[in-house]
């Protein structure tokens, strides 16, 4: 419980290599994760080679940890393997639709989180790379991903060079609902976000970006609509190329 409650994203790593025995045990923990119908609609690409990580870095917006961490893991939805199994057994699967895309996303997400918990249990640090979906097509090209395989997240992993303070989280009562969803009043929303908005780092974001409040930084600077529309269009085009039907 303490391990889970004390999670930090680690972005700077020692040069110490991760032993194959340790890495394989961590990956095995991912393989043992819960999944849809025990079909395991996910795979992971392990990238240790620094030259290959340098090729991937621009598609993760050149975050230094992509190259500096000992290991980069790219976690993928993988319908390809299941399709091929069906083919050699004289049956035909048709899972290339929105439902099974989301099933694969669930499988891959649980798989990734199992890996993270196992890694932290070994004293390693990890950081999720939310940039993966932004440039999924380019990442797929570098990693030679076939149709039916879609990268949805990536993880940097290594022994921490430094450990940051815990980051803020929304209060328990803003996230947990009992029996049914209880929607929030404006005053409750203000109260839920008060601590986040009062942090020095949050106030710095607001000041540096010349905005009135933190919400404006999120919507007008960090996650602008035009950027979201651009990357969403790219992702839809890539998913279509990979064989998924989104209608």
Going from the N-terminus, what domains does the chain have, and what CATH number goes with each?
A: 2-164 (3.40.109.10)
Q: Which percentage of the chain shows pLDDT scores above 70?
A: 100
Query: What pLDDT does 154 receive?
Result: 98
* C-alpha of 208 from chain center: 27
Look at the pTM and tell me if it is higher than 0.85.
yes
Count CA within 13 A, CB hemisphere, residue 218: 6
* C-alpha of 126 from chain center: 11
Q: What do you get for the CA distance between the two ends of the chain, in Å?
A: 41
Classify residue 242 by burial, with Cβ atoms within 10 Å: 0-12, 13-18, 19+. Answer: buried
pLDDT in tens, 22-79: 999 999 999 999 999 999 999 999 999 999 999 999 999 999 999 999 999 999 999 9
Taking residue 80's Cβ as centre, other Cβ atoms within 10 Å add up to 19
pLDDT in tens, 89-146: 999 888 889 999 999 999 999 999 999 999 999 999 999 999 999 999 999 999 999 9
């Amino acid at each position: 419980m303490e391990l889970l409650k004390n999670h930090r994203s680690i972005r700077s790593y020692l040069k110490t290599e991760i032993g194959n025995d340790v890495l394989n045990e961590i990956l095995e923990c991912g393989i043992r994760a819960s999944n849809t119908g025990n079909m395991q609609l996910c795979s992971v690409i392990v990238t240790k080679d620094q030259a290959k990580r340098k090729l991937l870095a621009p598609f993760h917006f050149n975050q230094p940890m992509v190259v500096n961490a000992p290991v980069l893991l790219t976690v993928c939805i993988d319908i390809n393997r299941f399709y091929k199994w069906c083919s050699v057994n004289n049956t035909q699967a048709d899972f290339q639709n929105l439902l099974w895309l989301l099933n694969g996303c669930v499988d891959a997400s649980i798989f990734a989180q199992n890996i993270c918990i196992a890694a932290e249990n070994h004293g390693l640090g990890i950081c999720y790379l939310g940039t993966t979906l932004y440039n999924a097509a380019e990442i797929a090209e570098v990693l030679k991903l076939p149709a039916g395989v879609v990268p949805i997240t990536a993880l940097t992993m290594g022994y921490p060079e430094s450990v940051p303070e815990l980051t803020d989280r929304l209060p328990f009562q803003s996230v947990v609902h009992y029996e049914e969803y209880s929607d929030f009043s404006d005053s409750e929303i203000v109260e839920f976000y008060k601590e986040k908005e009062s942090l020095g780092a949050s106030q710095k974001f607001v000041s540096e970006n010349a905005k009135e409040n933190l919400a404006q930084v999120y919507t007008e600077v960090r996650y602008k609509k035009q950027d979201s529309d651009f990357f969403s269009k790219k992702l839809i085009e890539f998913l279509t190329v990979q064989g998924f039907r989104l209608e």
